[in-house]
Amino acid sequence: MGSPWHLYVMAAAYIVAGIMHFVKPKMYMRILPGYLPGHKFLVNFTGFLEIIVGVAICFAPSKSIAVYTIIAMLVFFLPVHFHMLLGKNASMGVPKWILILRIPLQFALMYWAFLYL
């Protein structure tokens, strides 16, 4: 595991984010657009997936798959960020400027993951 320290920061961030899906599932269900079916399943699945990619990115044999999964996951999360920006209930009282900044942040996170290929 001779990877740079910032890879482990990324790994820890995804692991913690994934765990939070199980600690605060209602919060995550609240931000999902209504047109998506099975909110509880989606929250559990994405939480599990974030934990898995957080671990997998730390190991050379699984790093590439983890990177591509992270990028795909972030692409699929984009509608949630727009839903939070446009929906009063989904925004959870977060200031609009933060919700706007979260959208380009998704692309920065994709690029960060891409750097580990």
Model pTM? 0.93
Where do we find the tokens 């839903």? 83
Longest alpha-carbon distance in the chain: 45
Per residue in 64-108, pLDDT (tens digit) is 999 999 999 999 999 999 999 998 888 989 999 999 999 999 999
Other C-beta atoms within 10 Å of 35: how many?
A: 7
Q: Give residue 84's pLDDT.
A: 93
Provide the 3-class DSSP secondary structure of residue 69. Answer: helix
Instruction: Return the amino acid letter for 103.
Output: I
Name the residue type at position 38.
G
Position 2 scores a pLDDT of: 67
Contact 47, 19 (CB under 8 A): yes
